[in-house]
Chains A and B, each alone.
Chain A
């Protein structure tokens, strides 16, 4: 090959590499399907396949009228979807309604005495509170009257809550909704400073808080944070005029923080002036903001996701009905916090809109022990359960056999918030669900308001680790960095986007419309002058891979990769496969320079106590990786070592073992907790390689730098 031809070929290779760099290669084993139980399908709200056609692309956007019709409107809409000012989509334009009426008032004639909320305090010996729709209606009206007359708030103004998981939180939310006041709840566990920053950004003049609440057996002083919050807001130019304090035990004050005269007020004392009050609900335009929900992740101005009234409420009602399969007579428990979007949508607004009973729990999941959630489920007859993978992992670790001890029966379960590993999903299915529940593994974000990816529980089979297809009326697509579609079934991953608007998409970032466009639409917008929604795909910011069956698997964090013959293998996948072998306690995958394939994988494993190394275990690890990921990932060597070189915080120093495998300088080992292990591993590995004649050549400078930097992707 001549130099010119060689260069052309090299340029092509570089271009090809650049294109393949745009698509993250993922090797996932396709999991088996789990069909929903027939008895579940028989009673499911969505069990007729015709629903899939009703929500097909050709029926967009009118397909969502089915969701809007689930609500009571003061005035129906004139226009379903206004796209005249992209990407600031407007749904149900011309429509008017009230969220509080839809969640409470309209249920009074038929379900007034039924429980709207059941609140479980953290202390197990404290009485559970059952709050009927009538009770809830009364409490909302009284607090709304207080806000209007004492708080002097008007429709469109903002109030910030910094409340834990107590019934006063949905009461406060729905009181605001009744008045058309925009509420902004800050997660109770956040610091006062974080709360103050959100108060300032939303320009709230009132903060609603609580004196204390139970957390892990202790009554936490929460009111102290209110003082920090007021101070933080003041430093940003916003003066909080009133701090309204709910008391955990009315009449008792459980905080060391003194009440500030003229600023701080006990709500239970003020409410005596508003007993029996009835506040006329304000009929709000569908596009009026209902609430703000702030996300973290910025050192600058906080990001307040602004959600509408009509679009949001229609979507959470529809998805609660079809994807949570909530019926009015169910007892539904979303084991999350209302401080997050999951709680707003699927503890308060969605379930109450459907007139069901929604359970709330004050405390930490494993207090006083890992059996607590299942005792609650048994006692209350919970039949729909909803929680996050982190909680599932914790419950699985601390009490894997606990669910079997309790007599509860879930017909449906949800997992939300993060990707869930297939083996954790299987524990959830077999042990928590007892093999009888339909599971929905849902994908969505604070910005979306409701589910974007999920199986329909009565119609579509479950696949561990996959969220499923796009939900009804939502059309996801995976794009690479160049904006080209990544074909389904290709095994390659990219950025998951949503092609079309949906009713619940947030309206904007509060006060920051340019940031809204830049963050979520600029990346893949095809034509910024276009008013065709097809030119404005929504960029979700998550990586995903779409299987041949159309199911999406959402990726976790970006990871170290080892490039084996052009295949990029994630070290997390390799290590996850290795630890599936029973004898293995921990694993670390490292790259080794290889003349033919560029790089190959070597796997280091440490065994569980009492287990002796053997060739059989080495083979088991290789076979597991082969099975889970594929032959391309099979390690060249599996080294069973006594321990891994680690920092004092327990972090495995992968660059040290990568250096050993490559006969390179291991570099600085002074920060290791166990520096003596380095020489032991070096002796073991390098002498074995030398005995086989497997000693690599001298590394180039670039290769040395690559090995020295390995394991520091974050």
Chain B
């Protein structure tokens, strides 16, 4: 199928997360690069990693008391989670 757009949407959403990720930008950038290069079946385990990283970043902002950073990151993470579910990439 022309599922290439799933790769693109995933990358674009990771780009949004990257913009909010502060100290974790490199980790997000690495995952984004992996998504852009991956075969479609590999998007599922990558989605798992992405959600885990979102969790880590959000907790990190909270531990630093950065409410603004947390909110921005949480919004980007929510959009990613929504997309992952709608695209059928939810971790099993």
Contacts and interface: CB of A to CB of B under 8 A. Distances in A.
Interface of A: 187-191, 193-194, 215-216, 295-299, 336-337, 339-342, 388, 390-391, 393-394, 397, 416-419, 443-446, 542, 554, 556-558, 560, 647-652, 654, 711, 714
A341 B82 CA distance: 24
B62 to A, nearest CB: 15
A394 B82 CA distance: 8
B4 A443 contact: no
Interface string B1-27: 111111111011001100000000000
Contact of B8 (A189, A542, A649, A711): A189
Considering residues B7, B32, B44, B85, which has the most beta carbons from chain A within 10 angstroms of its beta carbon? B7
Contact of B9 (A390, A554, A557, A714): A390
Contacts, number: 122
Nearest to B36: A194
30 contacts: A189-B9, A189-B11, A190-B8, A191-B33, A191-B36, A215-B16, A296-B7, A296-B37, A296-B39, A297-B39, A339-B5, A339-B8, A342-B5, A390-B86, A393-B85, A393-B87, A393-B88, A397-B82, A417-B6, A418-B1, A418-B3, A418-B88, A446-B4, A542-B1, A556-B88, A557-B41, A560-B92, A650-B90, A650-B91, A651-B91
Contacts of A190: 8, 11-12, 36
Contact of A193 (B33, B48, B52, B55): B33
A365 to B, nearest CB: 10
Considering residues A295, A297, A388, A394, which has the most beta carbons from chain B within 10 angstroms of its beta carbon? A297
Interface in B75-92: 79, 82-83, 85-88, 90-92
Contacts of A416: 2
Interface residues of B, number: 37
A391 B90 CA distance: 15
Contacts of B37: 296-299
**Which 6 pairs between the two chains have the least Cβ-Cβ distance?**
A189-B12, A651-B91, A187-B8, A393-B86, A297-B39, A394-B86
Considering residues B11, B37, B41, B44, which has the most beta carbons from chain A within 10 angstroms of its beta carbon? B37
Contacts of A188: 12
A416 B3 CA distance: 9
A491 B79 CA distance: 38
Interface string B46-85: 0010011001000000000000000000000001001101
Contact of A390 (B44, B45, B87): B87
Given A216-B79, A714-B92, A443 B5 contact: no
B67 to A, nearest CB: 20
Contacts of B48: 649, 651
Nearest to A711: B92
Contacts of A560: 92
Contacts of B8: 187, 189-190, 337, 339-340
A394 B1 CA distance: 19
Contacts of A558: 41
A714 B5 contact: no
A648 B55 contact: yes
B2 A446 contact: yes
A333 B86 CA distance: 21
B28 to A, nearest CB: 11
A216 B16 contact: yes
Contacts of B1: 417-419, 443-445, 542, 554
